[in-house]
Amino acid sequence: MSGAGPLVLIHPDAAGVAAMAGGRLLAAVQEAVVERGAAHVALTGGSMGSALVAALAEHPQRQIVDWSRVHVWWGDERYLPAGDADRNDTQNDRAGLTRLGLLPEHVHRVAGPDTSRSAEEAAAAYEQALRDHGAGMWDIVLLGVGPDGHVASLFPGHPAQLTDDALAVAVHDSPKPPPDRVSITLTCLGNSRQVWFVVAGADKADAVMHAVVGAPAQQSTAAQVRGLERTLWLVDEAAASLLT
C-alpha cells in the first residue's frame, strides 16, 4: 500500500483528542498557507468532527491564520437539503465553522435534493469543483472511523468503495441512515499530503486496530487510506485499547 505508514498518538479522552487535533490543524493550515499560498482541508462529520471544529474556533491563536486563503470541503455528505440538522456541514457550522472568517465561496458544500436532481448529479458537481481546484490535492484530510471500519461514506463491502475512476461518487443503500449520500472516493482521499484519523470511544477500538494493522478492504475502508507524507491517528485511550 502506498503512502506514509500510520503514526498513532494517544490522548486520555475525547476532549483531549479534539483539543490537540484543533491545535495541530491550526498549525498545519498556517504552514500550508505560508508555503503554498492556500490550504485545502477536507472536514469530517460526527461528534468528533464537530468537537474538532469547536476546538479550532475557540483556539486563542486562531487568528494567526489568514482564513481568506483556506478552502474547506467535506469527505462526505448526507444527501439532504441545505440546513438539515443531519448534514455534516450543518453540524460543523453550528460547532463554530462560521466563526473562523472563511470566505463563503471557499466553503465547498455538496448539493442536496433542494438544489440538485439526484445524488449522482450532486457528486458530479462536487467532482467538477474538485477538478477546478486542483483535482482534490489536499493539504489535510480529516476522517472519523465508524465501528464497522468505514470512512466518509465508503463502507466495507459496499460497491461505492470500489470506485477508482472518479473523485466523488453517489452512495445508495448506505448501511447507516440516511441511505443516500455523496462521498469522495478512496483515490481522492489518498491524494493528500496528510490524512488524520480523529477517533474516540471504546466502540471504535476494533476498527482502529484493524485499520492500523492494515486489514483488507472488505474488513476496513480506513486501512486503505494513507497520506502521501503523513498518516496520523489521533485517538483516545479507549479507542486505542486493542493496539499493542
* pLDDT band with cut points at 50, 70 and 90 for residue 3: confident
Residue 136 is predicted with a pLDDT of: 60
Strand, helix or coil at 109?
coil
User: pTM score, two decimals?
Assistant: 0.95
Q: Facing residues of 198 across strands?
A: 234
Specify the pairing of strand 39-43 against strand 168-171. unpaired
Q: How confident is the model at residue 162 (pLDDT cuts 50, 70, 90)?
A: low
- How far, in Å, CA of 241 to CA of 243, rounded? 6
Quickly count: other Cβ atoms within 10 Å of residue 25's Cβ: 25
Q: All domains of the chain, ordered by start, with CATH?
A: 17-220 (3.40.50.1360)
For residue 157, with 0-12 CB atoms within 10 Å meaning exposed, 13-18 middle and 19 or more buried, which class applies? middle
- Average pLDDT in the 175-191 region? 94
Answer for the pair 193, 228: CB distance below 8 angstroms, yes or no.
yes
- DSSP letter for 237, please: T
